[in-house]
Amino acid sequence: MATVETSMEVPAEELTNTIGEIARLWKDGSLVVYLGPDLFVDPPGFPTSEADLCARLCEKVTVPGRLKGKLHESAQYIESYKHRKTLTSLMGEIFSKEADAAPVHRILSEFPLPLVVDTWFSTISSKSLVQPGDIQISAVSRAEYRDQWYRIDRKTTDGWEPADKSTPFGRVLYRPFGTMIPNVEVLVSDADFVEVLTEIDIQTPLPEWVKTHRTGRHFLFLGCHFDDQTTRMFARQIMKRSSNRHFVVTDGPILPKEGRFYEQEGIAVLPLSLNNAFLPKLKEELERN
């Protein structure tokens, strides 16, 4: 079996073995892939970090200087002073840019999984991973949907249709921060998160199918950064009652709070470039047999 080179202090043989383990879990359907924004080889034309998204929003609407760099606070200012519809419209405009699928989307299309979690706002996962008959479950703002936490839609040959419940026999794309397709429905302002975070510890905002499917399964985090409390909290709650063996691919610096999060949740760190090292080797393993 080929080895994977890395400049980090993790033996290449160990990394190779771990990638083989991930491929085996992937092929037997016991893996959940959890996507963040940092997936692309080249800049896709829309923001791929909270800081970039905040900057784009602040280009569209002037916010107080004390809020700049703070995504949820800036979004709340726009919602409060310019109306929720303005915020929603801006989010749709910012993420309207067409872009090619990232390498991980292409692998997921070739080797589909029962559940993929996408925590960013781009349209690519909805367009490339959800086929006719598949289900998308996406969070909705309580500012607009007082009596529900998420919407369930089924892809059809002609578009999308509401689905009262998702079937465990179809593939599911779960978007815990909302989606751009079939409508712009996002969690991005402070008020959005206050509503969800008051209930997330008791799991109320999470879809029942996701809570059932995650049980005993392993998570693979790709393109994710856990440098703030909200992203860590959501990941913990989505992972609850899963296995005690998970994986994250990151070749950047790991902040102390991220490191503790990985340690507490049983997340093994693969210090590899996502697109240049990890995914080519993973694809090679998936194609075996």
- What is the CATH classification number for the domain harbouring 19? 3.40.50
CA distance 18 to 239: 20
Tell me: do 90 and 231 sit in the same domain.
no
pTM recorded for the entire structure:
0.94
Tell me: do 171 and 72 sit in the same domain.
no
- Tell whether 243 is covered by a domain: yes
Tell me: do 56 and 189 sit in the same domain.
no
- Within 8 A by CB and 6+ apart from 211, the residues are 203, 240, 241
Residues β-bridged to residue 139: 150
Per-residue confidence (pLDDT) for residue 9, from 0 to 100: 66
pLDDT digits (tens, 9 = 90+) for 25-34: 999 999 999 9
Per-residue confidence (pLDDT) for residue 68, from 0 to 100: 87
169 residue type, one letter: F
Per-residue confidence (pLDDT) for residue 7, from 0 to 100: 37
Tell me: do 54 and 120 sit in the same domain.
no
Please compute the mean of the pLDDT values over residues 238-249 and round it to a whole number: 97
Per-residue confidence (pLDDT) for residue 4, from 0 to 100: 46
What strands lie across the sheet with 150-155, from one edge to the other? 160-162, 150-155, 135-139, 172-175, 115-118, 31-35, 218-222, 246-249, 267-270
- Tell whether 3 is covered by a domain: no
Tell me: do 130 and 213 sit in the same domain.
yes
Tell me: do 86 and 101 sit in the same domain.
no
| Domains in the chain, number | 2
Tell me: do 175 and 242 sit in the same domain.
yes
Structural domain range at position 243: 12-46+95-286
Q: State the first-to-last Cα distance of the chain, in angstroms, to the nearest integer.
A: 14
pLDDT digits (tens, 9 = 90+) for 112-129: 999 999 999 999 999 999
Tell me: do 73 and 100 sit in the same domain.
no
pLDDT digits (tens, 9 = 90+) for 178-216: 999 999 999 999 999 998 998 998 999 999 999 999 999
CA distance 217 to 244: 9
Tell me: do 85 and 210 sit in the same domain.
no
| Mean pLDDT (the chain, rounded) | 93
Is residue 263 pLDDT above 80, yes or no?
Answer: yes
Per-residue confidence (pLDDT) for residue 166, from 0 to 100: 59
Band (pLDDT 50/70/90 cuts) for residue 144 is: confident
Tell me: do 34 and 55 sit in the same domain.
no
Tell me: do 67 and 35 sit in the same domain.
no
- Tell whether 100 is covered by a domain: yes
Per-residue confidence (pLDDT) for residue 83, from 0 to 100: 94
- Tell whether 6 is covered by a domain: no
Tell me: do 109 and 213 sit in the same domain.
yes
- Within 8 A by CB and 6+ apart from 192, the residues are 72, 141, 142, 143, 186
